[in-house]
Amino acid sequence: MTTKLVIGLDGKNSGDRALAYGKQMAKLIGSCELLIVYIIEWSPYSFQTAEENAERHKRREEEISLAKERVVDPAVAALKEAGFAARGLVRHGHVASTLNAIAVEENAEQIIVNRSSQGGITERIFGSSVVNLVMNASVPVTVVS
C-alpha cells in the first residue's frame, strides 16, 4: 500500500521547505506518493451579471493554468527527476478546507505546509489558513517553519 502525503505550496520560495520535508518523509516511508497542491483563494459568494460570471470563469481557468505551469508542474517534475512518485493539483477555494478535502478524497496520511511568513491585522483577528487547517484537518498536519 502506498502512503500519500499532500504538500501544500504557496507559490513562494518558502514552499521549498515544505517540499524538502515531504521528500525527507517520503524517503523514510518508502512506498510514498507526494501530491503537490496549490490552492487559489476563490470566493464563490459574489453577485454578478451573466457576463461577469462568464468572464470570471475564463479568469478562473487562466489562473489554474498559470498556477499549474509556474508552481505545480516544476515541483512535480523536480520530484520525479529525483525518483519520487509525485503528481500535482490546482484548485480554487478556501485554502484550509480545500487542502483538507483533497487529503480526505485522496486518503492521504498527512498534510505538509509551510508556516506563512506574512502577518497583519487580518491574520491576528481571523487567523491564517495554516491555523485554520491545523485546527480543522481530518488528518495530521505538519507545519514546516
pTM of this prediction?
0.85
Q: In terms of residue numbers, what domain contains 139?
A: 120-145
Q: For 71, left (φ over 0), alpha (ψ -120 to 50), or beta?
A: alpha
- Separation CA 129–CA 143 (nearest Å): 11
Residue 7 included in any domain: no
Does the pLDDT of residue 124 top 50, yes or no? no
Residue 136 included in any domain: yes
CA neighbor of 91 nearest in space, from 6, 4, 25: 6
**What is the tens place of the pLDDT at every residue in 37-80?**
999 986 655 566 777 767 777 788 888 999 999 999 999 999 99
Residue 75 included in any domain: no
pLDDT at site 47 = 60
- Separation CA 9–CA 85 (nearest Å): 17
pLDDT at site 42 = 67
pLDDT at site 60 = 84
- Separation CA 102–CA 4 (nearest Å): 11
Total structural domains in the chain? Answer: 1
Residue 35 included in any domain: no
pLDDT at site 11 = 79
- Angle ∠(22,23,27) on CA atoms, nearest 5: 115
